[in-house]
Amino acid sequence: MLNRTADNVARATPEPLARRIRGISDKGLAWLFISPTILLLLAINIFPLFWAIYLSFTNYRANRPNEVVKNLGLANYRRILGDQDIWIAMQTTAHFVFWTILLQTVIGFTLAWLIDRKFRGHAFWTTIILVPMMLSPAVVGNFWRFLYEPQIGLFAYAVSFVTGIPPTNVQMLSNVELAPWAIIIVDTWMWTPYVMLICLAGLRSIPEYIYEAAEVDRASNWRQFWSITLPMALPFIMLAVLFRGIENFKMFDMVNLLTGGGPGSTTEVASITLKRQAFESWRTGYSSAFAIILFVAVFGLANIYVKALNKVKQR
Amino acid sequence: MSLTTAHSVVAPSANSKRIAGAIVVGYALVSIVPLLWIFATSFKTPPDSIAYPPKIVFQPSIEGYCNLFTTRTRQTPEYINSLGPATGFCDETVRKRNMVIAGPSNFLPRFVNSLIIAFGSTFCAVFLGTLSAYGFSRFKVPLADDLLFFILSTRMMPPIAVAIPIYLMYRELGLSDTALGMILLYTAVNVSLAVWLLKGFIDEIPREYEEAAMIDGYTRLQAFWRTVLPQATTGIAATAIFCLIFAWNEYAFAALLTSGTAQTAPPFIPTIIGEGGQDWPAVAAGTTIFLVPILVFTILLRKQLLRGITFGAVRK
């Protein structure tokens, strides 16, 4: 439609206008194409980011907009770095990130490696495995709360069926020891397919002739796995770890719905602390400072990691 | 990048294939159980849903769906009977089965909100993303790499962290708890994905097409419309699905920035409460309905999935 309109305009209007439409320089066009996106991101991401940076130096409270805002300098940052609870939340987050990534990578890679054997019906079963990652983490978290119910839930029933422990003892969400694992299990269930998919792409990218050459050299299957399959797929595995790491560092939905940070604060990850400080205690300035610290941490870690990834890729 | 590319010349033995198949099928079956359980629960009565041991065989009921959609307040069979002739499917079911409904439910408006916000933001993100991706792909943009990295980095911020200033900004602008505000926000989050994915797709379309079109007398815009867009349709469709899935499933922003009129389904479904506790069949019914569109997309688009989830970073 647009081209017809443009044609008509070009035909109907006197020469100078037509020339002018045709004559938008490429530079102008490039700006025309790119600026709406940049402007939107400036308005919705960058402007708020700078606002948050500004707030992080103040004692502003969003629920008391009329109070005088005092500039505190670096006090918020100093308090956060000295706050025991925040360090515990960071440790909890690190604990989650470590275990979820470890489990997802091991299971995901194994699955991809098995699927790559092309047994009968592999495409169908791959699609079935992919389903959990397409769901809303909120809806999933809420429903797992039901599965975890000790008296009525399927999970407790299955565990007691297999192990003989009475189901009332399988208090996944209210037991201090088990609650973190309840979340790790759900996250692994949901996101292993994601890691599997990336690993599968990695395995598929290994050229055939390398294996053929290894066959000629009579390398054993183990040897082929350790010196061809794993190293060649490594950049992909690392990429999966990067994506999952960034996501799980920000983990909020599932924790909020499964445990809300409890029991006590055993599952209180950084995002939950942030939400409590910002939207329950309304310490806007303080939580903005924490947000900035988190952002810098993710950004910094991701950058270091990407450098390592590039090195592995170049090998 | 299809999932079914033929590969192994060094063919695994039939036996190892069988073992691999058995393990994968076993994993798939275990991983799908929670979903089948949600589906089954949606057709249980509340007492059946909390029976112990969990009921695998049960008399199916649509009470959960009725509770999910009812606009009535706490209806009992006597109350329904006092209303005169049955006016709808739910009323009839309630009469026949002697159900007690704990309404009213806001599910339908929340579901509609989800539809409006997800589709609205997807359209905007794909529209802006296509333009920018074309711009980055075909023109010499000053600092292109930095701009692209900037676009990507907007996704690294934890949603809660962004939510604080957005909350304040929206309060000033009157955008809090509005569909427009959520559409703008999700567009901004999705546009980074859209630009990166679409740039990959458009990079693969040879420039010669447009050059030929421009030699034929088309302007740059016309050439874009005539040659590039039709070629990029598959990529645009795949990108749209990813934006849609994100906007459809998003919870953190929705939970913090909407509370009433613009609330979407993800923060709403967990709040469905029945008589004395969570009404699990209604929650399961809401979950089931909410999942259907995504399941359909997953099955239709499993071949494009890979590119989307890896942000276009994994290239063939």
Question: Which residues does chain A have with pLDDT short of 70?
Answer: 1-24, 315
Measured in degrees and rounded to the nearest 5, phi and psi for residue B278 equal -70, 135
| The predicted structure's pLDDT at residue B101 | 64
Please answer yes or no on whether B35 and A132 come within 8 Å at the CB atom: yes
Please count the CA atoms within 13 angstroms of the CA of A18 that sit on its side-chain side. Answer: 12
Query: Residue B301: pLDDT band by 50, 70, 90 thresholds?
Result: confident
- Which pLDDT does position B30 carry in this prediction? 93
pLDDT at B309: 59
For A133, the closest chain B residue by CA position comes to B298
pLDDT at A9: 44
Residue B87: what pLDDT?
67
Distance, CA of A63 to chain centre = 30
Chain A, nearest residue to B181 by Cα: A44
Overall residue count recorded for chain B in this entry: 316
Structure tokens at B219: 């302007």
Q: How confident is the model at residue B141 (pLDDT cuts 50, 70, 90)?
A: confident
Distance from the Cα of A55 to chain B's closest Cα (Å) equals: 9
Query: For A56-70, B82-96, B174-188, which range has the lowest pLDDT when averaged over its residues?
Result: B82-96
Nearest to B164 by CA among A207, A4, A42, A279: A279
CB-neighbour burial class of residue B305 (10 A; exposed 0-12, middle 13-18, buried 19+):
buried
Say yes or no for a CB contact (<8 Å) between A130 and B298. yes
Residue A118 pLDDT: 83
Q: CB of A129 within 8 Å of any CB in chain B?
A: yes
pLDDT at A16: 43
Amino acid in the structure at residue B179: A
Q: Is the confidence at residue B1, as pLDDT, over 50?
A: no
Which residue is associated with the tokens 């950004």? A299
pLDDT single digits (tens) B198-216? 888 888 888 888 888 888 8
In the predicted structure, residue B95 carries a pLDDT above the cut 80: no
A205 has a chain B CB within 8 A of its CB = yes
Burial class of residue B92 (count of CB atoms within 10 Å of its CB; 0-12, 13-18, 19+): middle
Using the beta-carbon criterion (under 8 Å), do B34 and A34 form an inter-chain contact? Answer: no
DSSP 8-state assignment for residue B12: P
Confidence of residue B126 (pLDDT cuts 50, 70, 90): very high
Token pair for A122? 């592999």
Most confident of A42-51, B81-90, B176-185, B202-211: B176-185
Q: Nearest-CA distance from A176 to chain B in Å? A: 23
Task: Answer with the residue of higher pLDDT: B87 or B22.
Answer: B22
Q: What is the pLDDT of residue B122?
A: 94
Three-state secondary structure call for residue A90: helix
Which two structure tokens, joined as six digits, stand for B54? 């969990």
pLDDT tens-digit readout, B253-295: 998 888 888 999 999 888 887 766 788 888 899 999 998 888 8
Does B31 sit within 8 Å of A154, measured CB to CB?
no
How many whole angstroms separate alpha carbon B75 and alpha carbon B79? 6
- Residue A170 CA to residue A293 CA, distance in Å, equals 37
Q: A70 vs chain B: nearest CA distance in angstroms?
A: 17
pLDDT for the residue A56: 92
Q: Rounded to an integer, what distance in angstroms lies between the CA atom of residue A262 and that of residue A267?
A: 6
Q: What is the pLDDT of residue A298?
A: 85
Q: Do B228 and B205 touch, CB atoms closer than 8 A?
A: yes
Confidence band of B97 (pLDDT split at 50, 70, 90) = low
Query: How many percent of chain B have pLDDT more than 70?
Result: 83
pLDDT computed for residue A161 by the predictor = 87
Q: Provide the ipTM.
A: 0.84
| Paired residues of B101 in beta bridges | B75
pLDDT for the residue numbered A77: 93
Residues A257/A238, Cβ–Cβ less than 8 Å: no
Q: Which residue in B has a C-alpha nearest to residue A29's C-alpha? A: B135
Nearest to A92 by CA among A305, A270, A243, A239: A270
Chain A residues with beta carbon closer than 8 angstroms to that of B52: 151-152, 157, 167
Task: Provide the pLDDT for residue A119.
Answer: 86
Q: Which of B160, B187, B295 sits opposite A275 (nearest CB)?
A: B160
Decide if pLDDT at B123 tops 90: yes
Q: State both tokens at B113.
A: 């909100």
Q: State which residue of chain A sits closest to B256, comparing Cα positions.
A: A279
Q: Helix A26-41 vs helix B107-138: angle between axes, to the nearest 10 degrees?
A: 150
